[in-house]
Structure 1
Amino acid sequence: MSVTSNTRVVDPRPARTRAAIYAAVRRLVTVDGAEITVNAIATEAGVSRTSFYAQFADLDALAVSMLVDAFRDIGHEDITARQNNRATRRDLAQASSRRLVQHIAGRRPFYRASLDWKLTSRVHETVIEAYADQVLAVIAVDPPILPADLDPGDAARFVAGGVLAVLTTWLRDEGHDWGSDHHVLADRLVSAMPPWLTESS
Protein backbone atom coordinates (compact mmCIF):
# COMPACT_ATOMS: atom_id res chain seq x y z
CA MET A 1 0.00 0.00 0.00
CA SER A 2 1.46 3.33 -1.05
CA VAL A 3 1.48 6.35 1.19
CA THR A 4 0.82 9.72 -0.42
CA SER A 5 2.62 12.63 1.19
CA ASN A 6 1.23 16.14 1.12
CA THR A 7 4.72 17.53 1.74
CA ARG A 8 5.76 19.73 -1.16
CA VAL A 9 9.31 19.27 -2.37
CA VAL A 10 11.05 22.62 -2.81
CA ASP A 11 13.05 22.96 -6.03
CA PRO A 12 16.60 23.96 -4.97
CA ARG A 13 17.57 25.24 -8.43
CA PRO A 14 16.27 28.83 -8.07
CA ALA A 15 18.13 29.22 -4.78
CA ARG A 16 21.31 27.89 -6.40
CA THR A 17 20.91 30.28 -9.32
CA ARG A 18 20.46 33.25 -6.99
CA ALA A 19 23.49 32.21 -4.95
CA ALA A 20 25.57 31.88 -8.14
CA ILE A 21 24.50 35.36 -9.27
CA TYR A 22 25.31 36.87 -5.87
CA ALA A 23 28.73 35.20 -5.95
CA ALA A 24 29.33 36.44 -9.50
CA VAL A 25 28.74 40.03 -8.39
CA ARG A 26 31.20 39.59 -5.51
CA ARG A 27 33.85 38.33 -7.94
CA LEU A 28 33.23 40.89 -10.68
CA VAL A 29 33.60 43.88 -8.37
CA THR A 30 37.15 42.78 -7.57
CA VAL A 31 38.19 43.00 -11.24
CA ASP A 32 39.38 46.44 -12.34
CA GLY A 33 37.31 47.76 -15.22
CA ALA A 34 34.89 44.84 -15.20
CA GLU A 35 31.45 45.65 -16.59
CA ILE A 36 28.57 45.20 -14.21
CA THR A 37 25.90 44.18 -16.70
CA VAL A 38 23.35 41.40 -16.89
CA ASN A 39 25.45 39.67 -19.57
CA ALA A 40 28.64 39.91 -17.51
CA ILE A 41 26.97 38.71 -14.33
CA ALA A 42 25.18 35.82 -16.06
CA THR A 43 28.40 34.71 -17.78
CA GLU A 44 30.39 34.90 -14.55
CA ALA A 45 27.64 33.00 -12.71
CA GLY A 46 27.50 30.32 -15.40
CA VAL A 47 23.80 30.87 -16.03
CA SER A 48 21.83 32.05 -19.03
CA ARG A 49 20.24 35.48 -19.36
CA THR A 50 16.89 33.69 -19.20
CA SER A 51 17.84 32.18 -15.84
CA PHE A 52 18.94 35.60 -14.61
CA TYR A 53 15.65 37.20 -15.62
CA ALA A 54 13.71 34.35 -14.07
CA GLN A 55 15.16 35.52 -10.74
CA PHE A 56 15.46 39.28 -11.19
CA ALA A 57 13.55 41.69 -13.40
CA ASP A 58 16.66 43.83 -13.86
CA LEU A 59 19.82 44.98 -12.08
CA ASP A 60 17.73 47.20 -9.80
CA ALA A 61 15.87 44.15 -8.55
CA LEU A 62 19.17 42.33 -8.01
CA ALA A 63 20.57 45.21 -5.94
CA VAL A 64 17.42 45.38 -3.83
CA SER A 65 17.39 41.60 -3.34
CA MET A 66 21.02 41.58 -2.22
CA LEU A 67 20.38 44.35 0.29
CA VAL A 68 17.15 42.85 1.61
CA ASP A 69 18.81 39.46 2.08
CA ALA A 70 21.70 41.15 3.88
CA PHE A 71 19.30 43.01 6.18
CA ARG A 72 17.53 39.74 6.96
CA ASP A 73 20.69 37.77 7.69
CA ILE A 74 22.27 40.53 9.78
CA GLY A 75 18.99 41.08 11.62
CA HIS A 76 18.69 37.36 12.40
CA GLU A 77 22.19 37.33 13.91
CA ASP A 78 21.41 40.47 15.91
CA ILE A 79 18.15 39.07 17.27
CA THR A 80 19.80 35.75 18.21
CA ALA A 81 22.50 37.64 20.11
CA ARG A 82 19.90 39.76 21.92
CA GLN A 83 17.89 36.69 22.90
CA ASN A 84 21.03 35.21 24.39
CA ASN A 85 21.95 38.48 26.16
CA ARG A 86 25.42 38.37 24.67
CA ALA A 87 26.32 42.07 24.82
CA THR A 88 25.08 45.59 25.44
CA ARG A 89 22.70 47.25 23.01
CA ARG A 90 25.48 49.53 21.79
CA ASP A 91 27.87 46.64 21.18
CA LEU A 92 25.15 44.77 19.30
CA ALA A 93 24.29 47.83 17.22
CA GLN A 94 27.98 48.25 16.39
CA ALA A 95 28.31 44.61 15.39
CA SER A 96 25.27 44.81 13.11
CA SER A 97 26.41 48.09 11.56
CA ARG A 98 29.86 46.65 10.91
CA ARG A 99 28.39 43.62 9.16
CA LEU A 100 26.22 45.90 7.00
CA VAL A 101 29.13 48.18 6.08
CA GLN A 102 31.27 45.11 5.30
CA HIS A 103 28.55 43.73 3.05
CA ILE A 104 28.28 46.98 1.09
CA ALA A 105 32.05 47.58 1.01
CA GLY A 106 32.58 44.12 -0.49
CA ARG A 107 30.23 45.02 -3.35
CA ARG A 108 30.83 48.76 -3.45
CA PRO A 109 31.32 49.15 -7.25
CA PHE A 110 28.00 47.38 -7.87
CA TYR A 111 26.04 49.39 -5.30
CA ARG A 112 27.84 52.57 -6.40
CA ALA A 113 26.77 51.93 -10.00
CA SER A 114 23.20 51.32 -8.88
CA LEU A 115 22.99 54.92 -7.64
CA ASP A 116 23.32 56.10 -11.25
CA TRP A 117 20.52 53.88 -12.54
CA LYS A 118 17.05 55.32 -12.98
CA LEU A 119 15.64 53.79 -9.83
CA THR A 120 11.96 54.28 -9.11
CA SER A 121 10.83 55.72 -5.79
CA ARG A 122 9.31 52.31 -5.08
CA VAL A 123 12.78 50.73 -5.11
CA HIS A 124 13.99 53.25 -2.53
CA GLU A 125 10.89 52.67 -0.39
CA THR A 126 11.32 48.90 -0.58
CA VAL A 127 14.89 49.11 0.73
CA ILE A 128 13.89 51.44 3.58
CA GLU A 129 10.91 49.27 4.53
CA ALA A 130 13.09 46.13 4.55
CA TYR A 131 15.60 47.80 6.87
CA ALA A 132 12.80 49.22 9.02
CA ASP A 133 11.30 45.73 9.36
CA GLN A 134 14.57 44.54 10.89
CA VAL A 135 14.65 47.48 13.30
CA LEU A 136 11.07 46.65 14.33
CA ALA A 137 12.05 43.02 14.86
CA VAL A 138 14.87 44.14 17.15
CA ILE A 139 12.48 46.42 19.05
CA ALA A 140 10.09 43.50 19.49
CA VAL A 141 12.68 41.10 20.92
CA ASP A 142 14.61 43.68 22.97
CA PRO A 143 12.03 46.39 23.79
CA PRO A 144 13.63 49.77 24.46
CA ILE A 145 11.96 52.54 26.44
CA LEU A 146 10.53 54.66 23.65
CA PRO A 147 9.32 58.22 24.20
CA ALA A 148 5.60 58.08 25.02
CA ASP A 149 4.50 59.78 21.79
CA LEU A 150 6.84 57.89 19.47
CA ASP A 151 5.29 55.29 17.16
CA PRO A 152 7.60 52.25 16.74
CA GLY A 153 6.96 52.13 12.98
CA ASP A 154 7.89 55.79 12.59
CA ALA A 155 10.98 55.24 14.71
CA ALA A 156 12.09 52.25 12.63
CA ARG A 157 11.63 54.08 9.33
CA PHE A 158 13.48 57.13 10.70
CA VAL A 159 16.46 54.99 11.69
CA ALA A 160 16.41 53.06 8.40
CA GLY A 161 16.21 56.21 6.29
CA GLY A 162 19.03 57.86 8.20
CA VAL A 163 21.38 54.89 8.00
CA LEU A 164 20.75 54.46 4.28
CA ALA A 165 21.26 58.18 3.65
CA VAL A 166 24.70 58.06 5.29
CA LEU A 167 25.63 54.88 3.39
CA THR A 168 24.50 56.47 0.12
CA THR A 169 26.71 59.51 0.77
CA TRP A 170 29.61 57.16 1.50
CA LEU A 171 29.03 55.28 -1.76
CA ARG A 172 28.90 58.48 -3.81
CA ASP A 173 31.80 60.26 -2.14
CA GLU A 174 35.04 58.97 -3.63
CA GLY A 175 37.16 61.92 -2.54
CA HIS A 176 36.28 62.29 1.13
CA ASP A 177 38.30 60.38 3.71
CA TRP A 178 35.83 58.16 5.53
CA GLY A 179 38.64 56.14 7.02
CA SER A 180 40.16 52.98 5.55
CA ASP A 181 38.80 50.95 8.46
CA HIS A 182 35.14 50.21 7.77
CA HIS A 183 34.57 49.98 11.51
CA VAL A 184 34.99 53.75 11.63
CA LEU A 185 31.97 54.27 9.37
CA ALA A 186 29.95 51.68 11.28
CA ASP A 187 30.74 53.40 14.57
CA ARG A 188 29.69 56.73 13.08
CA LEU A 189 26.36 55.20 12.15
CA VAL A 190 25.84 53.95 15.70
CA SER A 191 26.78 57.34 17.15
CA ALA A 192 24.04 58.94 15.03
CA MET A 193 21.36 56.48 16.20
CA PRO A 194 18.85 57.55 18.86
CA PRO A 195 19.86 56.69 22.44
CA TRP A 196 16.78 54.53 23.02
CA LEU A 197 18.09 52.11 20.38
CA THR A 198 21.70 51.89 21.56
CA GLU A 199 21.61 52.45 25.31
CA SER A 200 20.70 49.87 27.90
CA SER A 201 17.61 50.59 29.95
Structure 2
Amino acid sequence: MASDISLPQGEETKAGHTNADEPKAHTRSDDPRAGRTRQQIFEALRQLMSDGNASVTVHQVVQAANISRSSFYAHFNSLDELAAELLRNQFADIGTAGVGLRREDLLAGPDAARIGYSRLVEHMVENFPLYSSALEMPLARNAYDEIVEAYATRLLESMVDREAVPSGINSELATTYIAGGAMTLISAWMRERLEVSDDELVDQLVALLPNWILEPTTTEKTHT
Protein backbone atom coordinates (compact mmCIF):
# COMPACT_ATOMS: atom_id res chain seq x y z
CA MET A 1 0.00 0.00 0.00
CA ALA A 2 2.79 2.41 0.79
CA SER A 3 3.87 4.68 -2.02
CA ASP A 4 7.48 5.69 -2.54
CA ILE A 5 7.46 9.46 -2.76
CA SER A 6 10.87 11.03 -3.23
CA LEU A 7 12.15 14.50 -3.91
CA PRO A 8 13.97 14.92 -7.23
CA GLN A 9 17.34 16.65 -7.28
CA GLY A 10 16.89 20.41 -7.10
CA GLU A 11 13.48 20.20 -5.43
CA GLU A 12 14.53 19.67 -1.82
CA THR A 13 15.20 23.26 -0.84
CA LYS A 14 14.92 26.67 -2.30
CA ALA A 15 18.70 26.98 -2.21
CA GLY A 16 18.93 24.30 -4.86
CA HIS A 17 16.89 26.27 -7.41
CA THR A 18 18.35 28.40 -10.17
CA ASN A 19 15.74 31.14 -9.90
CA ALA A 20 17.42 33.68 -7.62
CA ASP A 21 14.40 35.95 -7.66
CA GLU A 22 12.16 33.61 -5.67
CA PRO A 23 11.28 35.32 -2.36
CA LYS A 24 12.47 33.87 0.89
CA ALA A 25 9.80 32.09 2.91
CA HIS A 26 8.49 34.15 5.81
CA THR A 27 6.20 33.68 8.75
CA ARG A 28 2.48 33.56 8.10
CA SER A 29 0.56 36.81 8.24
CA ASP A 30 -2.97 37.70 9.23
CA ASP A 31 -3.79 38.51 5.61
CA PRO A 32 -6.75 36.26 4.68
CA ARG A 33 -5.35 35.94 1.17
CA ALA A 34 -2.15 34.46 2.58
CA GLY A 35 -4.23 32.03 4.62
CA ARG A 36 -6.16 30.95 1.54
CA THR A 37 -2.94 30.46 -0.40
CA ARG A 38 -1.49 28.27 2.34
CA GLN A 39 -4.66 26.23 2.41
CA GLN A 40 -4.49 25.76 -1.37
CA ILE A 41 -0.91 24.56 -1.03
CA PHE A 42 -1.81 22.14 1.76
CA GLU A 43 -4.74 20.73 -0.20
CA ALA A 44 -2.61 20.34 -3.33
CA LEU A 45 0.10 18.38 -1.52
CA ARG A 46 -2.43 16.30 0.40
CA GLN A 47 -4.10 15.29 -2.85
CA LEU A 48 -0.83 14.52 -4.63
CA MET A 49 0.43 12.39 -1.75
CA SER A 50 -2.90 10.63 -1.28
CA ASP A 51 -2.95 9.76 -4.98
CA GLY A 52 0.23 7.78 -4.44
CA ASN A 53 2.38 9.65 -6.92
CA ALA A 54 5.84 8.14 -7.33
CA SER A 55 7.37 11.61 -7.01
CA VAL A 56 6.07 14.95 -5.84
CA THR A 57 7.72 18.18 -6.94
CA VAL A 58 7.21 21.85 -6.20
CA HIS A 59 6.17 22.24 -9.83
CA GLN A 60 3.34 19.74 -9.34
CA VAL A 61 2.23 21.44 -6.14
CA VAL A 62 2.07 24.93 -7.64
CA GLN A 63 0.19 23.58 -10.65
CA ALA A 64 -2.32 21.73 -8.49
CA ALA A 65 -2.73 24.75 -6.20
CA ASN A 66 -2.99 27.11 -9.18
CA ILE A 67 -0.41 29.48 -7.74
CA SER A 68 2.97 30.80 -8.84
CA ARG A 69 6.28 29.30 -7.80
CA SER A 70 7.18 32.53 -6.00
CA SER A 71 3.95 32.28 -3.99
CA PHE A 72 4.96 28.81 -2.84
CA TYR A 73 8.35 30.01 -1.63
CA ALA A 74 6.77 33.00 0.09
CA HIS A 75 5.24 30.47 2.49
CA PHE A 76 7.60 27.49 2.57
CA ASN A 77 11.35 27.06 2.15
CA SER A 78 11.04 23.54 0.80
CA LEU A 79 8.70 20.71 -0.03
CA ASP A 80 9.88 18.82 3.05
CA GLU A 81 8.97 21.78 5.27
CA LEU A 82 5.51 21.87 3.71
CA ALA A 83 5.02 18.13 4.16
CA ALA A 84 6.08 18.30 7.82
CA GLU A 85 3.58 21.07 8.59
CA LEU A 86 0.83 19.28 6.67
CA LEU A 87 1.47 16.17 8.74
CA ARG A 88 1.27 18.08 12.03
CA ASN A 89 -1.99 19.72 10.95
CA GLN A 90 -3.45 16.40 9.84
CA PHE A 91 -2.56 14.69 13.09
CA ALA A 92 -4.20 17.49 15.06
CA ASP A 93 -7.48 15.80 14.11
CA ILE A 94 -6.76 13.02 16.58
CA GLY A 95 -5.30 15.38 19.19
CA THR A 96 -5.30 13.81 22.63
CA ALA A 97 -8.02 11.24 21.90
CA GLY A 98 -7.77 8.44 24.43
CA VAL A 99 -5.39 10.37 26.65
CA GLY A 100 -6.52 10.87 30.23
CA LEU A 101 -9.06 8.05 30.35
CA ARG A 102 -7.09 6.19 33.02
CA ARG A 103 -6.16 9.31 34.97
CA GLU A 104 -9.81 10.12 35.50
CA ASP A 105 -10.52 6.53 36.58
CA LEU A 106 -12.96 6.14 33.71
CA LEU A 107 -11.47 2.87 32.46
CA ALA A 108 -9.16 0.11 33.62
CA GLY A 109 -5.59 0.19 32.34
CA PRO A 110 -5.93 -2.33 29.47
CA ASP A 111 -9.15 -0.71 28.24
CA ALA A 112 -7.70 2.80 28.31
CA ALA A 113 -4.60 1.60 26.45
CA ARG A 114 -6.69 -0.25 23.87
CA ILE A 115 -8.85 2.81 23.17
CA GLY A 116 -5.84 5.09 22.89
CA TYR A 117 -3.91 2.80 20.56
CA SER A 118 -7.04 1.93 18.56
CA ARG A 119 -7.73 5.59 17.82
CA LEU A 120 -4.13 6.09 16.76
CA VAL A 121 -4.16 3.07 14.42
CA GLU A 122 -7.59 3.96 13.02
CA HIS A 123 -6.33 7.45 12.24
CA MET A 124 -3.32 5.98 10.44
CA VAL A 125 -5.54 3.65 8.41
CA GLU A 126 -7.94 6.44 7.43
CA ASN A 127 -5.03 8.54 6.18
CA PHE A 128 -2.77 5.71 5.04
CA PRO A 129 -1.70 7.14 1.65
CA LEU A 130 -0.72 10.43 3.26
CA TYR A 131 1.23 8.97 6.18
CA SER A 132 2.91 6.18 4.22
CA SER A 133 4.07 8.69 1.63
CA ALA A 134 5.29 11.09 4.31
CA LEU A 135 7.55 8.36 5.67
CA GLU A 136 9.65 8.73 2.52
CA MET A 137 10.23 12.47 2.99
CA PRO A 138 13.04 13.34 5.46
CA LEU A 139 11.52 16.28 7.37
CA ALA A 140 8.04 14.79 7.16
CA ARG A 141 9.43 11.52 8.54
CA ASN A 142 10.94 13.41 11.46
CA ALA A 143 7.59 15.09 12.10
CA TYR A 144 5.82 11.73 11.85
CA ASP A 145 8.15 10.14 14.40
CA GLU A 146 7.81 13.08 16.81
CA ILE A 147 4.01 13.17 16.56
CA VAL A 148 3.40 9.44 17.01
CA GLU A 149 5.90 9.15 19.86
CA ALA A 150 4.46 12.23 21.59
CA TYR A 151 0.94 10.77 21.40
CA ALA A 152 2.11 7.42 22.76
CA THR A 153 4.04 9.16 25.54
CA ARG A 154 1.01 11.25 26.59
CA LEU A 155 -1.14 8.12 26.60
CA LEU A 156 1.32 6.28 28.83
CA GLU A 157 1.85 9.23 31.16
CA SER A 158 -1.90 9.47 31.70
CA MET A 159 -1.99 5.80 32.72
CA VAL A 160 1.03 5.61 35.01
CA ASP A 161 0.36 5.55 38.73
CA ARG A 162 3.66 6.92 40.01
CA GLU A 163 3.04 5.36 43.42
CA ALA A 164 2.95 1.93 41.76
CA VAL A 165 6.17 2.24 39.77
CA PRO A 166 8.52 -0.59 40.82
CA SER A 167 11.61 0.35 42.77
CA GLY A 168 14.58 1.13 40.54
CA ILE A 169 12.50 2.19 37.52
CA ASN A 170 12.42 5.80 36.38
CA SER A 171 8.85 6.31 35.15
CA GLU A 172 9.80 9.13 32.77
CA LEU A 173 12.53 7.09 31.11
CA ALA A 174 10.25 4.05 30.99
CA THR A 175 7.39 5.85 29.25
CA THR A 176 9.78 7.40 26.73
CA TYR A 177 11.29 3.97 26.03
CA ILE A 178 7.92 2.24 25.64
CA ALA A 179 6.52 5.04 23.47
CA GLY A 180 9.57 4.83 21.21
CA GLY A 181 8.97 1.11 20.80
CA ALA A 182 5.33 1.70 19.92
CA MET A 183 6.33 4.31 17.33
CA THR A 184 8.85 1.92 15.75
CA LEU A 185 6.31 -0.92 15.65
CA ILE A 186 3.64 1.26 14.04
CA SER A 187 6.13 2.58 11.48
CA ALA A 188 7.17 -0.96 10.52
CA TRP A 189 3.50 -1.87 10.12
CA MET A 190 2.87 1.21 7.97
CA ARG A 191 5.76 0.14 5.73
CA GLU A 192 4.17 -3.33 5.44
CA ARG A 193 7.09 -5.03 7.16
CA LEU A 194 4.69 -6.70 9.58
CA GLU A 195 1.86 -8.92 8.35
CA VAL A 196 -0.70 -8.25 11.05
CA SER A 197 -4.20 -6.81 10.97
CA ASP A 198 -5.17 -3.51 12.56
CA ASP A 199 -6.71 -5.31 15.53
CA GLU A 200 -3.70 -7.60 15.94
CA LEU A 201 -1.40 -4.58 15.99
CA VAL A 202 -3.46 -2.95 18.74
CA ASP A 203 -3.54 -6.24 20.68
CA GLN A 204 0.25 -6.43 20.58
CA LEU A 205 0.73 -2.77 21.54
CA VAL A 206 -1.40 -3.37 24.63
CA ALA A 207 0.11 -6.78 25.44
CA LEU A 208 3.65 -5.38 25.31
CA LEU A 209 2.90 -2.85 28.06
CA PRO A 210 4.31 -3.82 31.48
CA ASN A 211 1.89 -4.94 34.16
CA TRP A 212 2.84 -2.08 36.47
CA ILE A 213 1.27 0.27 33.90
CA LEU A 214 -1.73 -1.88 33.02
CA GLU A 215 -2.53 -3.19 36.49
CA PRO A 216 -0.65 -1.26 39.18
CA THR A 217 -0.82 -2.85 42.62
CA THR A 218 -0.05 -1.59 46.08
CA THR A 219 2.57 -4.32 46.50
CA GLU A 220 4.69 -2.61 43.85
CA LYS A 221 4.55 0.82 45.40
CA THR A 222 7.73 2.55 46.36
CA HIS A 223 8.20 5.89 48.05
CA THR A 224 11.16 8.14 47.33
User: CA 1:200–1:130 in structure 2 vs 1: closer, same or farther (change >3 Å)?
Assistant: same
User: CA 1:39–1:108 in structure 2 vs 1: closer, same or farther (change >3 Å)?
Assistant: farther
- Residue 161 of structure 1 pairs with residue 180 of structure 2: yes
Q: Which 5+ residue runs of structure 2 have no aligned equivalent?
A: 1-28, 218-224
> Which residue number in structure 2 is paired with residue 108 of structure 1?
128
Q: Provide Cα deviations, 1:58-96, integer angstroms capped at 9, x if missing partner.
A: 444445445545666545232354465432232222222
Deviation of the 1:130 alpha carbon: 4.7
- TM (norm. structure 2) is 0.58
Match of residue 98, structure 1, among 110, 118, 121 = 118
- TM (norm. structure 1) is 0.62
Q: Do 2:58 and 2:79's aligned partners in 1 also have CA atoms closer than 8 Å? A: yes
Deviation of the 1:35 alpha carbon: 4.8
Take 1:150 and 1:167, find their aligned partners in 2: how far apart are those partners?
25
- Matched to 1:198, the amino acid is L
> Which residue number in structure 2 is paired with residue 178 of structure 1?
196
State the number of aligned residues. Answer: 186
Q: Do 2:157 and 2:175's aligned partners in 1 also have CA atoms closer than 8 Å? A: no
Deviation of the 1:160 alpha carbon: 2.2
* Largest Rg, 1 or 2: 2
Deviation of the 1:165 alpha carbon: 1.0
User: CA 1:67–1:27 in structure 2 vs 1: closer, same or farther (change >3 Å)?
Assistant: closer
- Residue 76 of structure 1 pairs with residue 96 of structure 2: yes
User: CA 1:77–1:42 in structure 2 vs 1: closer, same or farther (change >3 Å)?
Assistant: farther
User: How do residues 109-128 of structure 1 correspond to structure 2 at under 5 angstroms?
Assistant: 109-117=129-137, 119=138, 124=142, 128=145
- Matched to 2:206, the amino acid is V
> Which residue number in structure 2 is paired with residue 4 of structure 1?
none
Q: Do 2:109 and 2:215's aligned partners in 1 also have CA atoms closer than 8 Å? A: yes
RMSD of equivalent CA atoms: 4.0
Match of residue 152, structure 1, among 171, 175, 200 = 171
| Structure with more of its chain in helix, by fraction | 1
- Residue 198 of structure 1 pairs with residue 214 of structure 2: yes
- Matched to 2:204, the amino acid is R
User: CA 1:112–1:32 in structure 2 vs 1: closer, same or farther (change >3 Å)?
Assistant: closer
Deviation of the 1:158 alpha carbon: 0.9
- Aligned-pair identity in percent equals 29
Q: Do 2:51 and 2:129's aligned partners in 1 also have CA atoms closer than 8 Å? A: no
Q: Provide Cα deviations, 1:78-136, integer angstroms capped at 9, x if missing partner.
A: 2354465432232222222222222322333343334444x37xx64x65555554455
Q: Which 5+ residue runs of structure 1 have no aligned equivalent?
A: 1-9
User: CA 1:136–1:170 in structure 2 vs 1: closer, same or farther (change >3 Å)?
Assistant: closer
User: How do residues 28-43 of structure 1 correspond to structure 2 at under 5 angstroms?
Assistant: 28-31=48-51, 33=53, 35-43=55-63
Take 1:72 and 1:177, find their aligned partners in 2: how far apart are those partners?
28
